[in-house]
Amino acid sequence: MAATRIDGKAFAAELRQRIADQVAALKAEHGVTPGLAVVLVGEDPASQIYVRSKNKQTVEAGMNSFEHRLPADATQAELLALIGRLNADREVHGILVQLPLPDHIDEAEVINAISVKKDVDGFTVANAGRLATGQRAMVPCTPLGCLMLLRDLLGDLSGKEAVVIGRSNIVGKPMAALLTAESATVTVAHSRTVDLPAVVRRADIVVAAVGRPQMVKGDWIKPGATVIDVGINRTEDGLVGDVDYDAVAAVAGAVTPVPGGVGPMTIACLLANTLTACCRSNGLPDPKGLVA
């Protein structure tokens, strides 16, 4: 029996509608409109596509969208000055600096210049530390989207054995922290893991986030396991994930496709985080169903 195809695109559309409804209520009841500022440095084609999509979906959700574009040769001081102005702007509740940045700019310094309260990517050291220690934090968008899909499909994750393949600061580490907070038993696997297939085969939940096309094979998967494929790899055959979808779908209980799985959840969760940041900055309760 083939695995359930987890439709991230449909879930994200429903999530964006819930966000739009809560934004409308926030405006009506408190006169507040969430605002997201996106900063793009340079002319990277993929980044430009992402920024256009973020702008469109922000406006569709009823939020204010502020777009700032700097040339590729903009100095680090110019970028930091812009972030300083956005930190001080009361109309801006979320700040996202589109990555990657040009080589002459220190990515870590720029990210950590963003106000912790406006860090809707959840990338600052302060938010990463809060998440790791179980405190209230802004959670990175992709892991938050993965968690929402898992909760929707499985309900209580307590006691599940989870393997996260990949240890990046953007996905792997925060995903492991989120699953730990859900009382799952979590293993973080990576390129140095001995007998990776055997480690993965133990898991009730597999989150693949390594950036290697179709690396996770069908015989790596425990029958009935839930597999979340975070990978987006461009190949001669088009976009593929880190999971060999057809082979894994023959064994797993449920699996996300690429495209149409985790990808759409990332921008939806960016909007969720912007709404959360707006509520917190105005001393209001967190929005319902949108936080980890």
Give the catalytic positions in this structure: 54, 98, 121
207 within 8 A of 195, measured Cβ to Cβ:
no
Closest of 33, 67, 63 to residue 50, by C-alpha: 67
Distance between CA atoms of 54 and 56, rounded to whole angstroms?
A: 5
Distance between CA atoms of 57 and 280, rounded to whole angstroms?
A: 22
* Cis status of the peptide bond prior to 45, with omega within 30 of 0: no
Tell me whether strands 238-240 and 233-235 are parallel, antiparallel or unpaired: antiparallel
Distance between CA atoms of 191 and 201, rounded to whole angstroms?
A: 16
Distance between CA atoms of 198 and 202, rounded to whole angstroms?
A: 7
User: How far from 106 is each of 122, 141, 172, 238, 289, CA to CA, in Å?
Assistant: 18, 22, 22, 32, 35
Closest of 161, 229, 226 to residue 199, by C-alpha: 161
**H-helix or E-strand containing 206?**
strand 205-208
Whole-number CA gyration radius for the chain: 19
Distance between CA atoms of 275 and 51, rounded to whole angstroms?
A: 18
